[in-house]
């Protein structure tokens, strides 16, 4: 395999695995704020039990998110050194801002969130929870800014140096608010809310099905459902905004996502495949694409025929992954819609088939997250920075294919182990359910209790 | 743009401050990891892990932010070092992941084998991180082969030269000592008696490494001594380093652990400052072609970015320092054995 394929595979693997965790911690951050806010108002013990249970889950997810996140920060330099030299002036400052404004905040206050229950007053603890939620959201802000700049660069100029060309920043705020930042950021953050709320809903539905911890489960179901409704609705709004942005700024990606070979009115293919020319075949409604994009069914949209072959992404995977993401979104909306009606009618708690669907639906936002990012990143190819630097020219000059192959094998094995352990421990934790609250008169628990119950 | 000070020098210093912050803070929790297997009883190990439990994650952020700052302020240094040190940095990443997984997972099962496996992982990973970080630093100071485009032109084994290995070893020993002193602060009773013994032996080990490193620096990195001959007042730095390190065993035997911890922190800071002093204005020394060295001039980001970064630092870091200090204040005092999390 070529160095480029290996380096891209490694980045895709490490990034995709990492991305299982941050959406959950961003969304759970918000949900923990809601839970603890309710507890502060009601001082209800069930709320407190629920809150502490989710803090445990949060800390497990957060720990893995941090550990797998460092890998990405290193990889920009280890595997993509030419890219790092080229865009360091721009990309680096967003990354550094992420560290200062986001990582310090979330990791610092995480200490109080997890360990500070009896070290600080409830209000200070609540404040810490808010800071952790804010910190994890800030991290999304800065990394999405950096990535959006790679999709739609702005606020820079190219300077020739003795060591090759470099992108230099001329307007920091134009870089921050580049043409795709706001659409993509809102789409990513609301997707994070979906990921976490579907997890909360799934676990709550599991307890309701098993007739365990029912008071707590109903409570967390209500909170999870509320966030899931908001998140799913926002997904469609921000998704639409994102597609308008892609159509405007990234025509090659747009044409690949829709399998649009010839410039002309855009149809909407619900399901199908693309041929060698990049034309979609399948269940196609003509002109609806143009209608959705421009409120004009005859409006021509640029097709792949206008894009030089050397500047086209791989159309088939981009098309399929984009459609997979949309399909997951539609499925999420359907399930949440049905569950909301049942919730309003008061029949949700007893409806076994609906609860089972909610248990299973936890995977939908995760699949949509992955498929969505693969669409965005593969759709940008062959560019690493759109119309500026090709991925094939961004590699580290000193790193040979065999080294990347070795580290790829290493990470694959490590992540298989880590993924297995994560799901094993998460499953065990969920099966064990919320711990009883320690009463002030409790004696020192035995090792066994500490190992199983507290830890 | 004209500034009353040199932005590049400022960022050389700030990157140094972040690295120092990392070494002092993550240094003690890495040190606890290095020493962990010295405790045989499960309960003792849990006390040691809980001493660093609430803070290790935040400490590691200093490395993440340091890496980000290096990327932003000196992109070519970041690119050269990270791609040139490919294999050691991949091993470093694996160690960082294993360490995080180990502390997170070890108490989630009760079986002896499960816990022993994760404890060994935690200890090995802690040693590896300290060693690899030291080896990387040693290579930057002693010099690595770079070509005219700043690309690393050596192999993996070039990186394992004697000087770099001595810096690596010194890093392991100084973190072990730093961690042991931290543990004396955080424990009581029998556990404290045990870690007090560790504090003494690691101080001796570090003293030996320090002596060896000093001699090796004269031999392998003569530019360090030359810098002091050029600018005599800089002799204050190695003197401060020597005094603070010599002060550590004195404070320990007098039972003043907090002062011993401050002393070892100052010792770490001055050691790093010495490296910075010896290389400035170069960041990565090229050897055998010194003309290809990466300096604060040829590797720096634009003035716009450095100015932006300065604003980010001025805006963000006072808050970071304030809440970090507050959180350390909240978690001060001995580990409560009745409330073990890990």
Q: Is it the case that residue A109 has pLDDT exceeding 80?
A: yes
Optimal mutation site among A65, A71, A93, interface B, most CBs of chain B within 10 A:
A93
Residues of A in contact with B122 (CB under 8 A): none
The predicted pLDDT at position B221 comes to 86
Inter-chain CB proximity A445 and B338 less than 8 Å = yes
Q: Is it the case that residue A269 has pLDDT exceeding 90?
A: no
Please write the tens of the pLDDT for every residue from A229-256. 999 999 999 999 999 999 999 999 999 9
Q: Is it the case that residue A331 has pLDDT exceeding 70?
A: yes
Smallest CA–CA distance, residue A184 to chain B, in Å, is 23
Q: Cα A374 from chain centroid?
A: 11
Inter-chain CB proximity B94 and A410 less than 8 Å = yes
Q: For B63, name the nearest residue in chain A, comparing CA atoms only.
A: A70
Between positions 21 and 50 of A, the ones with CB within 8 A of B are: none
Smallest CA–CA distance, residue A344 to chain B, in Å, is 39
Measured between alpha carbons, how far is B188 from B337 in angstroms, rounded to an integer?
A: 10
Average pLDDT over residues A330-346: 94
The predicted pLDDT at position A290 comes to 87
Indicate if the alpha-carbon torsion angle A296, A298, A299, A305 is positive or negative.
positive
| φ, ψ for residue A363, nearest 5 deg | -80, -20
Inter-chain CB proximity B93 and A88 less than 8 Å = no
The structure tokens listed for A381 are 């190819």
Is residue A354 within 8 Å of A348, Cβ to Cβ? yes
Q: Is it the case that residue A443 has pLDDT exceeding 70?
A: no
Which of A71, A96, A403 is facing B68, going by the closest CB pair?
A: A96
Measured between alpha carbons, how far is A54 from A60 in angstroms, rounded to an integer?
A: 10
Average pLDDT over residues A291-313: 89
How many other C-beta atoms lie within 10 A of the C-beta of residue A263?
Answer: 16
Residues of B in contact with A107 (CB under 8 A): 57-58, 60-61
Contacts of B202 (CB under 8 A, 6+ apart): B31, B35, B173, B176, B177, B179, B180
Residues of A in contact with B105 (CB under 8 A): 421, 425
> Mean pLDDT by 10-residue block, N- to C-terminus, for chain B (342 residues)?
72 93 95 94 90 89 90 93 92 94 89 93 96 93 88 86 94 96 92 92 93 91 85 88 91 89 94 89 88 89 90 91 90 80 75
Burial class of residue B62, CB neighbours in 10 A (0-12, 13-18, 19+): buried
The closest of B1, B78, B18 to B304, measured between CA atoms, is B1
Inter-chain CB proximity B90 and A78 less than 8 Å = yes
The residues with which A264 forms a beta bridge, in sequence order, are A301
Inter-chain CB proximity A92 and B107 less than 8 Å = no
Average pLDDT over residues A351-357: 93
8-state DSSP, B313: H
- The secondary structure of chain A, three-state, reads CCHHHHHHHHHHHHHHHHCCCHHHHHHHHHHHHHHHHHHHHHCCHHHHHHHHHHHHHHHHHHHHHHHHHHHHHHHHHHCCHHHHHHHHHHHHHHHHHHHHHHHHHHHHHHHHHHHCCCCCCHHHHHHHHHHHHHHHHHHHHHHHHHHHHHHCCCCEEEEEECCEEEEEECCHHHHHCCCCHHHHHHHHHHHHHHHHHHHHHHHHHHHHHHCCCHHHHHHHHHHHHHHHHHHHHHHHHHHHHHHHHHHHHCHHHHHHHHCCCCCEECCEEEEEEECCCCCEEEEEECCHHHHHHHCCCCCEECCHHHCCHHHCCCHHHHHHHHHHHHHHHHHHHHHHHHHHHHHHHCCHHHCHHHHHHHHHCCHHHHHHHHHHHHHHHHHHCCEEECCCEEHHHCCCCCCCHHHHHHHHHHHHHHHHHHHHHHHHHHHHHHHHCCCCCCCCCCCCCCHHHHHHHHC
Residues of A in contact with B14 (CB under 8 A): none
Between positions 151 and 210 of A, the ones with CB within 8 A of B are: 163-164, 168-170, 172
Inter-chain CB proximity B64 and A60 less than 8 Å = no
Which of B55, B68, B342 is facing A111, going by the closest CB pair?
A: B55
Q: State the count of interchain CB pairs (< 8 A) between A and B.
A: 243
Optimal mutation site among B90, B306, B315, B325, interface A, most CBs of chain A within 10 A:
B90
The predicted pLDDT at position A444 comes to 41
The predicted pLDDT at position B1 comes to 45
Rounded mean pLDDT of chain A? 90
Residues in chain B: 342
Question: With pLDDT > 70 as the criterion, what percentage of chain A qualifies?
Answer: 96
Please write the tens of the pLDDT for every residue from B222-235. 888 888 888 888 88
Smallest CA–CA distance, residue A48 to chain B, in Å, is 18
Is residue B118 within 8 Å of B105, Cβ to Cβ? yes
Indicate if the alpha-carbon torsion angle B321, B327, B330, B336 is positive or negative.
negative
Which of A74, A96, A119 is facing B65, going by the closest CB pair?
A: A96
The predicted pLDDT at position A439 comes to 58
Q: Is the minimum CB–CB distance between A115 and chain B shorter than 8 Å?
A: yes
Average pLDDT over residues A410-418: 94
Inter-chain CB proximity A81 and B83 less than 8 Å = yes
Cis amide leading into B96 (omega within 30): no
Residues of A in contact with B79 (CB under 8 A): 77, 81-82, 84-85, 88, 396
The structure tokens listed for A90 are 């721009």
Q: For A454, name the nearest residue in chain B, comparing CA atoms only.
A: B341
Q: Is it the case that residue A89 has pLDDT exceeding 60?
A: yes
Inter-chain CB proximity A77 and B78 less than 8 Å = yes
Smallest CA–CA distance, residue A271 to chain B, in Å, is 40
Which of B104, B105, B312 is facing A100, going by the closest CB pair?
A: B312
Q: For B69, name the nearest residue in chain A, comparing CA atoms only.
A: A96
Which of A79, A92, A119 is facing B71, going by the closest CB pair?
A: A92
The closest of B285, B167, B168, B171 to B223, measured between CA atoms, is B285
Radius of gyration in angstroms for the set of CA atoms belonging to chain B, rounded to a whole number:
20
Residues of A in contact with B317 (CB under 8 A): 100
Q: For A71, name the nearest residue in chain B, comparing CA atoms only.
A: B93
Smallest CA–CA distance, residue B231 to chain A, in Å, is 33
Is residue B45 within 8 Å of B186, Cβ to Cβ? no
Could you identify the residue written with the tokens 């809102």?
A: A186
Q: For B312, name the nearest residue in chain A, comparing CA atoms only.
A: A97
Q: Is the minimum CB–CB distance between A111 and chain B shorter than 8 Å?
A: yes
Residues of A in contact with B65 (CB under 8 A): 96, 99-100, 103-104
Optimal mutation site among A18, A90, A96, interface B, most CBs of chain B within 10 A:
A96
Which of A63, A99, A119 is facing B104, going by the closest CB pair?
A: A63
Q: For B325, name the nearest residue in chain A, comparing CA atoms only.
A: A108
Q: Is the minimum CB–CB distance between A309 and chain B shorter than 8 Å?
A: no
Question: With pLDDT > 90 as the criterion, what percentage of chain A qualifies?
Answer: 68
CA dihedral B117, B119, B123, B125 (to 10 degrees): 60
Helix (H, G, I), strand (E, B) or coil at B284: strand
Q: Is it the case that residue A454 has pLDDT exceeding 50?
A: no
The predicted pLDDT at position B222 comes to 86
| ipTM of this predicted structure | 0.88
CATH 2.60.320.10 fits B7-331, yes or no: no
Average pLDDT over residues A202-231: 93
Q: Is it the case that residue A264 has pLDDT exceeding 80?
A: yes
Q: Is it the case that residue A455 has pLDDT exceeding 70?
A: no
3-state helix, strand, coil in chain B (%, to 5): 80, 5, 15
Higher-pLDDT residue of A373, B225: A373
Is residue B168 within 8 Å of B175, Cβ to Cβ? no
Inter-chain CB proximity A107 and B60 less than 8 Å = yes
Q: What would the DSSP string read from start to end of B60-125? A: HHHHHHHHHHHHHH-HHHHHHHHHHTHHHHHHHHHHHHHHHHHHHHGGGS--HHHHHHHHHHHHHH
8-state DSSP, B294: E
Average pLDDT over residues A296-304: 88
Smallest CA–CA distance, residue B321 to chain A, in Å, is 9
The predicted pLDDT at position A22 comes to 96
């Amino acid at each position: 395999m070529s160095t480029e394929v290996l380096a891209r595979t490694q980045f895709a693997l490490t990034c995709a695995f990492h991305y299982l965790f941050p959406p959950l911690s961003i969304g759970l951050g918000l949900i923990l704020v809601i839970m603890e806010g309710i507890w502060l108002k009601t001082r209800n013990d069930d709320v407190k039990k629920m809150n502490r249970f989710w803090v445990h889950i949060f800390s497990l997810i957060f720990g893995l998110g941090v550990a797998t996140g460092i890998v990405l920060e290193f990889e920009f330099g280890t595997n993509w050194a030419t890219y790092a030299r080229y865009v360091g002036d721009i990309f680096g400052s967003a990354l550094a801002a992420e560290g200062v404004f986001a990582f310090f905040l979330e990791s610092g206050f995480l200490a109080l969130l997890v360990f500070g229950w009896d070290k600080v007053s409830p209000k200070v603890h609540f404040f810490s929870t808010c800071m952790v939620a804010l910190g994890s959201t800030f991290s999304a802000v800065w990394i999405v800014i950096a990535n959006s700049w790679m999709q739609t660069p702005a606020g820079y100029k190219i300077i020739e140096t003795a060591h090759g060309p470099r992108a230099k920043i001329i307007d920091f705020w134009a870089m921050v608010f580049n043409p795709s930042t706001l659409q993509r950021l809102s789409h990513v953050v609301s997707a994070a809310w979906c990921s976490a709320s579907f997890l909360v809903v799934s676990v709550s539905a599991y307890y309701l099905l098993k007739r365990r911890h029912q008071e707590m489960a109903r409570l967390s179901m209500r909170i999870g459902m509320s966030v899931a409704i908001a998140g799913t609705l926002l997904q469609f709004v921000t998704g639409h905004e994102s597609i308008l942005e892609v159509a405007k700024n990234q025509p090659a990606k747009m044409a690949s996502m829709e399998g649009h070979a010839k410039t002309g009115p855009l149809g909407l293919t619900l399901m199908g495949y693309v041929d060698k020319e990049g034309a979609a075949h399948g269940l196609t409604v003509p002109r609806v694409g143009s209608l959705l994009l421009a409120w004009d069914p005859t409006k021509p949209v640029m097709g792949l025929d206008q894009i030089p072959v050397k500047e086209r992404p791989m159309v088939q995977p981009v098309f399929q992954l984009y459609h997979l993401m949309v399909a997951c979104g539609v499925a999420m909306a359907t399930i949440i819609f049905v569950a909301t009606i049942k919730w309003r009618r008061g029949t949700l708690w007893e409806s076994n088939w609906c609860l089972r669907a909610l248990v299973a639906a936890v995977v939908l936002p995760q699949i949509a997250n992955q498929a969505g990012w693969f669409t965005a990143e593969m759709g940008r190819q062959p560019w690493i920075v759109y119309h500026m630097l090709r991925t094939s020219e961004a590699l580290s000059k000193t790193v040979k294919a065999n080294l990347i192959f070795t580290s790829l094998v290493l990470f694959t094995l490590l992540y298989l182990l880590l993924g297995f352990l994560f799901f094993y421990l998460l499953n065990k934790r969920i099966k064990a359910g919320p711990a009883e609250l320690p009463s002030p008169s409790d004696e020192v628990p035995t090792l066994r209790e500490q190992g199983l119950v507290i830890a | 743009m004209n500034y009353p000070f040199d932005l590049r020098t400022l960022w050389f210093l700030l990157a140094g401050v972040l690295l120092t912050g990392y070494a002092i803070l993550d240094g003690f929790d890495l040190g606890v990891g290095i020493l962990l297997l010295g405790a045989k009883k499960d309960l003792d190990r849990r006390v040691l892990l809980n001493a660093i439990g609430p803070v290790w994650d935040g400490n590691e952020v200093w490395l993440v932010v340091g890496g980000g700052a290096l990327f932003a302020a000196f992109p070519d240094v970041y690119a050269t070092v990270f791609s040139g040190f490919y294999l050691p940095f991949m091993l470093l990443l694996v160690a960082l992941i294993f360490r995080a997984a180990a502390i997170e997972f070890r108490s989630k099962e009760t079986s002896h084998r499960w816990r022993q496996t994760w404890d060994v992982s935690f200890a090995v990973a802690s040693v590896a991180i300290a060693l690899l970080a030291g080896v990387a630093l040693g290579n930057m100071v002693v010099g690595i082969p770079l070509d005219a485009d700043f690309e690393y032109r050596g192999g993996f084994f070039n990186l394992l030269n004697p000087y770099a290995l001595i810096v690596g070893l010194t890093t392991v020993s100084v973190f072990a000592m730093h961690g042991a002193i931290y543990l004396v602060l955080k424990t009581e009773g029998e556990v404290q008696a045990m870690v007090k013994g560790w504090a003494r032996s690691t101080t001796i080990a570090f003293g030996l490494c320090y002596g060896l490193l000093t001699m090796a620096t004269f031999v392998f990195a003569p530019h360090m001594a030359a810098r002091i001959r050029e600018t005599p007042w800089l002799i204050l730095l190695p003197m401060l380093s020597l005094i603070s390190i010599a002060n550590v065993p004195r404070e320990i035997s007098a039972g003043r652990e907090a002062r011993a911890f401050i002393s070892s922190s100052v010792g770490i800071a001055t050691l790093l400052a010495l490296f910075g002093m010896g290389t400035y204005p170069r960041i990565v020394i090229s050897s055998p072609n010194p003309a290809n060295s990466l300096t604060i001039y040829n590797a720096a980001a634009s003035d716009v970015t450095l100015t932006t970064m300065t604003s980010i630092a001025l805006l963000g870091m006072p808050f970071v320092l304030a809440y970090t200090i507050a959180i350390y204040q909240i978690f001060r005092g001995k580990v409560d054995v009745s409330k073990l999390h890990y």
